[in-house]
Amino acid sequence: MNLEGRKIIVNKSSKELSELLKSPENYKDFMPDGLQKFETRDNGFKFGLQGMPEIALKIDEVDEQKAVLKSASSSLDFTLTATLNPISENQTEVQMLFEGKFNPFIKMMVEKPLQNFINTLTDKIEAYK
Protein backbone atom coordinates (compact mmCIF):
# COMPACT_ATOMS: atom_id res chain seq x y z
CA MET A 1 0.00 0.00 0.00
CA ASN A 2 1.44 3.34 -1.07
CA LEU A 3 0.10 6.75 -0.03
CA GLU A 4 1.36 10.21 -0.94
CA GLY A 5 0.98 13.61 0.64
CA ARG A 6 0.78 16.73 -1.47
CA LYS A 7 4.00 18.50 -2.42
CA ILE A 8 4.61 21.62 -0.34
CA ILE A 9 7.19 24.39 -0.25
CA VAL A 10 8.85 25.01 3.11
CA ASN A 11 10.81 28.22 3.72
CA LYS A 12 13.86 26.41 5.07
CA SER A 13 16.94 24.94 3.41
CA SER A 14 17.10 21.16 3.03
CA LYS A 15 20.03 21.25 5.49
CA GLU A 16 17.89 23.02 8.12
CA LEU A 17 15.04 20.57 7.57
CA SER A 18 17.29 17.51 7.77
CA GLU A 19 18.76 18.79 11.05
CA LEU A 20 15.23 19.32 12.40
CA LEU A 21 14.13 15.82 11.34
CA LYS A 22 17.12 14.09 12.97
CA SER A 23 15.83 14.89 16.45
CA PRO A 24 12.95 12.73 17.79
CA GLU A 25 11.53 15.46 20.05
CA ASN A 26 10.90 17.77 17.05
CA TYR A 27 8.31 15.39 15.61
CA LYS A 28 5.87 16.31 18.38
CA ASP A 29 5.37 19.68 16.63
CA PHE A 30 4.06 17.89 13.52
CA MET A 31 1.55 15.60 15.25
CA PRO A 32 -2.21 15.98 14.72
CA ASP A 33 -4.38 17.75 17.30
CA GLY A 34 -5.74 14.48 18.78
CA LEU A 35 -2.31 13.61 20.23
CA GLN A 36 -2.75 11.82 23.55
CA LYS A 37 0.75 10.48 24.12
CA PHE A 38 4.23 11.30 22.84
CA GLU A 39 7.45 9.69 24.11
CA THR A 40 10.90 10.15 22.65
CA ARG A 41 13.31 7.23 22.49
CA ASP A 42 17.00 6.93 21.61
CA ASN A 43 16.47 6.79 17.86
CA GLY A 44 12.77 7.54 17.48
CA PHE A 45 9.47 8.16 19.22
CA LYS A 46 6.14 6.62 20.17
CA PHE A 47 2.84 8.41 19.86
CA GLY A 48 -0.83 7.80 20.44
CA LEU A 49 -3.72 9.54 18.72
CA GLN A 50 -7.32 9.51 19.83
CA GLY A 51 -9.09 6.42 18.49
CA MET A 52 -5.91 4.79 17.14
CA PRO A 53 -3.40 2.32 18.60
CA GLU A 54 -0.01 3.67 19.68
CA ILE A 55 2.63 3.69 16.97
CA ALA A 56 6.39 3.52 17.54
CA LEU A 57 8.70 4.87 14.84
CA LYS A 58 12.45 4.82 14.55
CA ILE A 59 14.42 7.41 12.63
CA ASP A 60 16.17 5.20 10.11
CA GLU A 61 17.98 7.63 7.83
CA VAL A 62 18.11 11.42 7.49
CA ASP A 63 20.10 13.44 4.98
CA GLU A 64 19.52 16.53 2.85
CA GLN A 65 17.40 14.55 0.33
CA LYS A 66 15.14 12.55 2.66
CA ALA A 67 14.08 11.57 6.16
CA VAL A 68 13.04 7.92 6.54
CA LEU A 69 11.01 6.67 9.50
CA LYS A 70 10.35 2.96 9.95
CA SER A 71 7.95 1.08 12.13
CA ALA A 72 9.60 -0.03 15.37
CA SER A 73 7.14 -2.92 15.63
CA SER A 74 7.94 -6.21 13.95
CA SER A 75 4.21 -6.85 13.39
CA LEU A 76 3.81 -3.76 11.19
CA ASP A 77 6.03 -3.35 8.14
CA PHE A 78 6.01 0.23 6.83
CA THR A 79 8.13 3.27 6.13
CA LEU A 80 7.25 6.95 6.10
CA THR A 81 9.60 9.05 4.00
CA ALA A 82 9.79 12.83 3.68
CA THR A 83 11.50 13.68 0.39
CA LEU A 84 13.46 16.95 0.52
CA ASN A 85 14.04 18.63 -2.82
CA PRO A 86 15.97 21.94 -2.57
CA ILE A 87 14.46 24.70 -4.70
CA SER A 88 16.70 27.54 -3.53
CA GLU A 89 18.98 28.41 -0.64
CA ASN A 90 15.99 28.97 1.67
CA GLN A 91 13.23 26.87 0.15
CA THR A 92 12.67 23.13 -0.05
CA GLU A 93 9.93 21.08 -1.69
CA VAL A 94 8.72 18.38 0.72
CA GLN A 95 6.49 15.38 0.08
CA MET A 96 5.44 12.64 2.50
CA LEU A 97 5.41 9.08 1.09
CA PHE A 98 4.04 6.07 2.96
CA GLU A 99 4.83 2.50 1.95
CA GLY A 100 3.41 -0.41 3.90
CA LYS A 101 2.90 -4.13 3.52
CA PHE A 102 -0.52 -4.96 4.91
CA ASN A 103 -3.03 -7.68 4.25
CA PRO A 104 -6.23 -6.53 2.46
CA PHE A 105 -8.29 -6.44 5.66
CA ILE A 106 -5.80 -4.24 7.54
CA LYS A 107 -5.34 -2.06 4.45
CA MET A 108 -9.07 -1.41 4.31
CA MET A 109 -9.09 -0.36 7.99
CA VAL A 110 -5.99 1.86 7.98
CA GLU A 111 -5.90 3.47 4.54
CA LYS A 112 -8.19 6.45 5.26
CA PRO A 113 -6.80 7.25 8.76
CA LEU A 114 -3.25 7.00 7.40
CA GLN A 115 -4.00 9.34 4.51
CA ASN A 116 -5.52 11.83 6.98
CA PHE A 117 -2.42 11.50 9.16
CA ILE A 118 -0.11 12.16 6.19
CA ASN A 119 -2.22 15.17 5.18
CA THR A 120 -2.00 16.58 8.72
CA LEU A 121 1.77 16.02 8.88
CA THR A 122 2.08 17.82 5.55
CA ASP A 123 -0.02 20.77 6.77
CA LYS A 124 1.98 21.05 10.02
CA ILE A 125 5.34 20.92 8.23
CA GLU A 126 4.13 23.54 5.75
CA ALA A 127 3.04 25.87 8.61
CA TYR A 128 6.18 25.25 10.70
CA LYS A 129 8.20 28.38 11.47
Name the least confident of 55-59, 88-92, 105-109.
Answer: 105-109
| Tens digit of each residue's pLDDT (9 = 90 or more) over 12-70 | 999 999 999 999 999 999 999 889 999 999 899 999 988 778 899 999 999 999 999 99
Give the pLDDT confidence score for residue 18 in this predicted structure.
95
Alpha helices, DSSP H, located in the chain: 14-21, 104-127
Domains of the chain: 2-127 (3.30.530.20)
Query: Of how many residues is the chain composed?
Result: 129
Give the pLDDT confidence score for residue 75 in this predicted structure.
80
DSSP state of 102: -
Give the pLDDT confidence score for residue 106 in this predicted structure.
86
Compute CA distances 57 → 13, 47, 73, 74, whole Å.
25, 8, 8, 11
How many alpha carbons lie under 13 Å from residue 32 in its C-beta half-sphere? 16
DSSP state of 26: G
